[in-house]
Amino acid sequence: MTTRTTPSTGVEPEEGAADGRVPILRARRLVKTFGRVVGLDGVSLELYPGEVLAVIGDNGAGKSTLIKCLTGAEIPDEGQIWLEGEPVHFKRPQDARAAGIETVYQGLAVSPALDVAANLFLGREIRRKGVLGSVFRMVDQKGMRQRARDELSSLGISTLQDVTVPVENLSGGQRQAVAVARAAAFGSKVVVLDEPTAALGVRESNQVLELIMSLRDRGIPVILISHNMPHVFEVADRIHVQRLGKRAATITPQSHSMTDAVAIMTGASRG
């Protein structure tokens, strides 16, 4: 390996990247243990504005634990997380969401019987103006549907024309698009996608990958957890390789091949 990569161990850079960019989300030396099992052993991660950062690693490498710590599902034992330069301490997933980190969990986390618009606004419904909203608690169905249409078209999701269709009538790729759109809409700062293509066929996966790229084009940084190397190399700007609870390397699709990435993942190469 001749190309230079971020060192896997030793001193972490204290401030941004070499070119002076400031990370929007930054984690430093996260440690998480479960009894005697070490999930994370001092992991650092930087996510820069407008990039797709893929997180890859073998089973048990600490991918999930890392993501759970970043999204509030687990609380790290040690280490520090910054969002837009401010230190954050998430106790619950709702905290991370309130701070602007939206997560699309593995599987298709949508409510099948509700329609597309209702799913987009689930848990944050907009009420009617005036007495109808304040006293009678009526939701603004029309307004939410219109905003759902606007959000979908601004994300370039042309496949969901009718936001009144129940989600269960959609294909897997379309459902994932609804879940991703829900995460990306409403001014979120970071979108985390956990294995978004795992349950999907070839064409549907491509739809989701296009959607990820359109998120990046809108300036929304994305963390993509995936097992699927071709998908990672297709959309990622940088690739965080997790191994044995540590960051083994951070590489780019330009600097390394898929074979190199697998070699780092499995410990055959040190990156």
Q: Which one, 6 or 71, has the nearer CB to another protein?
A: 71
Q: According to the 3-state scheme, what is the secondary structure of 145-177?
A: HHHHHHHHHHCCCCCCCCCCCEHHHCCHHHHHH
**Which member of 53, 61, 69, 110 binds another protein (CB under 8 A)?**
110
Q: Which one, 97 or 240, has the nearer CB to another protein?
A: 97
> Measured between alpha carbons, how far is 95 from 125 in angstroms, rounded to an integer?
18
DSSP state of 12: P
* Residues making up the chain, counted from first to last: 271
Minimum Å gap between C-beta 121 and another protein is: 9
| Site mask for another protein (CB under 8 A), range 179-198, x = bound | ---x----------------
Give the Å distances, CA to CA, from 25 to 22, 66, 80, 130.
9, 13, 11, 39
Contacts with another protein by CB under 8 A: the residue count is: 41
* Residue 204 token pair: 């549907």
> Measured between alpha carbons, how far is 49 from 190 in angstroms, rounded to an integer?
9
Q: Which one, 9 or 111, has the nearer CB to another protein?
A: 111
Pairing of strands 222-225, 238-243: unpaired
* Residue 103 token pair: 């997560």
Residue 114 binding another protein, by CB under 8 A:
yes
Pairing of strands 86-88, 37-47: unpaired
Minimum Å gap between C-beta 159 and another protein is: 4
Task: Choose the stretch contacting another protein; rule: CB under 8 A; options: 17-25, 31-39, 154-162, 215-223.
Answer: 154-162
Residues between 70 and 109 that touch another protein (CB under 8 A): 93-94, 97, 103, 105, 109
Residue 166 binding another protein, by CB under 8 A:
yes
Residues that bind another protein (CB under 8 A): 93-94, 97, 103, 105, 109-114, 118-119, 122-125, 127, 136-139, 141, 158-160, 162, 165-166, 168-171, 173-174, 182, 201-204, 207
